[in-house]
Amino acid sequence: MKDFFALDGYIFDLDGTLFDSMGLWAEVYRKALARFGVAEMPADYIREVNCRSVSGGAAYTAEKFSLPFGAEGVIAVWKEIAGDAYATTVELKEGAAELLAQLRERGKKIGIATALDEKLAEPCFARHGIVAAVHSYTTVAEVGRDKNFPDVYLAECEKLGLLPEECAVVEDSITGASTAAKAGFFTVGVVDEHADCPPEALRAVTDMCVDSLAELLRK
């Protein structure tokens, strides 16, 4: 198995990978759907929304449930429910800060590829003191396609000045991990209890899979 630290670049997802926030969004989605009169959240709903941009997930929601107020109305409700959680309460996943520090100490390039709006992420980065660790940031909204396509990873890889084979993509999502693997990246799965797949499914599509980022730390 390849040494995790042998690569030149590392592209991280945020929600469920670096940020312990998937439970937050699952609750946001449940409460929002209840407001919209949807009694039960479909089994595939979180997976479908999380691989899209915020606007794309909202548009999907509005269309799927035939909501009269459209994507903008969905986003307004999501933001109201989520409030200032990223700025005040969202924590990093176990081992995240230490892993970023070890990679930075070794001169590795660190990028972000996510569906999360950068304005939501920035206060969380600042609160946890990891702003300086991140070289660049790419969203699915920026590239115009969700994580069913490799664009967000390829764009971030280009920002890092590297080739896919020189980078690891670290993901909690089977959708993102599968897409990155097909694009030639070394893939690392991070198990999250709120993720879109069981751990064994994530392990099946990644080169390496861990229950915690702490397992990747160099002793």
Match 């800060």 to its residue by tokens: 97
Residue 6's pLDDT is 95
Q: Which residues contact 6 (CB under 8 A, 6 or more apart)?
A: none
How far, in Å, CA of 11 to CA of 40, rounded? Answer: 34
Structure tokens at 174: 């089977």
Structure tokens at 55: 């606007």
Q: What is the pLDDT of residues 54-80, one digit of tens each?
A: 888 999 999 999 999 999 999 999 988
Residue 196's pLDDT is 63
How far, in Å, CA of 166 to CA of 191, rounded? Answer: 23
Q: What is the pLDDT of residues 180-205, one digit of tens each?
A: 999 999 999 999 987 767 899 999 99
Q: What is the pLDDT of residues 121-168, one digit of tens each?
A: 898 999 999 999 999 999 998 999 989 999 999 999 999 999 999 999
Q: Which residues contact 119 (CB under 8 A, 6 or more apart)?
A: none
How far, in Å, CA of 15 to CA of 116, rounded? Answer: 8
For residue 111, the cross-strand partners are 11, 136
Residue 210's pLDDT is 96
Q: From 3.40.50.1000, 3.40.50.170, 3.30.70.420, 3.80.30.20, which CATH number describes the 4-21+92-216 domain? A: 3.40.50.1000
Structure tokens at 99: 């892993």
Q: What is the pLDDT of residues 91-128, one digit of tens each?
A: 999 999 999 999 999 999 999 999 888 888 898 999 99
Q: What is the pLDDT of residues 7-36, one digit of tens each?
A: 999 999 999 999 999 888 888 899 999 999
**Closest to 150 measured CA to CA, from 161, 213, 158:** 158
- The pTM (predicted TM-score) of the whole model is 0.85
